[in-house]
């Protein structure tokens, strides 16, 4: 039976997203901001983040996956490409978690082909335990060294995304 060890409460998450949203609003006030959420995990974070950004911006989605269970497969599969024209625009990739960095690295490589003015990263969780490639996360709500976490969009085999807080999952 799985155990859920609390890491970040619903209120802590809400407070961090508000702070990050204010910083993004300030940093991008003269930019052409497009939030590009990485499916599926970022959806809940993206929805709450967009409401905390006070400047005009657009939202798009990209789908990529590399996980089975608790392990990265190392193979990146694109499941959805952006719909908006991104040329000359300021892209903020919104991710639930940056772990190995491999998926995000491939997404960034792809996004560069669309010729945006800038690409930066906003992640709910910046986790360092298994980082394999150098990824600069400009905006992060929380930083972790290790653990397999679920809740608030983060899943284990598509389960537990609906939990309102973030937990370390022990199987």
Q: Domain containing 126 — which CATH number?
A: 3.40.50.2020
Total domain count, the chain: 1
Closest CA to 162 of 1, 53, 37, 4: 4
- Residues 99, 41: contact at Cβ < 8 Å? no
63-74 tens-digit pLDDT: 987 655 555 556
Lowest mean pLDDT among 33-37, 70-74, 96-100, 115-119: 70-74
Quote the mean pLDDT of the chain.
Answer: 92
Model pTM score: 0.91
Q: What is the mean pLDDT of residues 120-147?
A: 93
Residue ranges making up the domain that contains 135: 3-170
Catalytic sites, residue numbers: 99
* Interval 52-64 mean pLDDT: 96
Q: Is 102 helix (H, G, I), strand (E, B) or coil?
A: helix
Phi, psi at residue 65, to the nearest 5°?
Answer: -145, 145
> Hey, which residues does 170 pair with through a beta bridge?
3
């Amino acid at each position: 039976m799985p155990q859920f060890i609390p890491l970040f409460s619903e209120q802590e998450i809400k407070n961090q997203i508000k702070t990050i949203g204010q910083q993004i609003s300030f940093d991008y006030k003269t930019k052409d901001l497009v939030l590009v959420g990485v499916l599926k995990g970022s959806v809940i974070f993206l929805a709450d983040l967009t409401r905390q950004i006070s400047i005009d911006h657009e939202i798009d989605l990209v789908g990529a996956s590399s996980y089975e269970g608790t392990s990265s497969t190392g193979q990146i599969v694109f499941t959805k490409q952006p719909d908006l024209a991104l040329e000359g625009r300021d892209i903020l990739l919104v991710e639930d978690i940056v772990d190995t960095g491999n998926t995000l690295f491939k997404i960034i490589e792809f996004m560069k082909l669309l010729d945006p003015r800038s690409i930066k990263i906003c992640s709910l969780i910046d986790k360092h335990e298994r980082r394999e490639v150098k990824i600069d996360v400009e905006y992060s709500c929380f930083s972790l060294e290790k653990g397999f976490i679920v809740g608030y969009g983060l899943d284990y085999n598509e389960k537990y995304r609906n939990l309102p807080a973030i937990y370390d999952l022990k199987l």
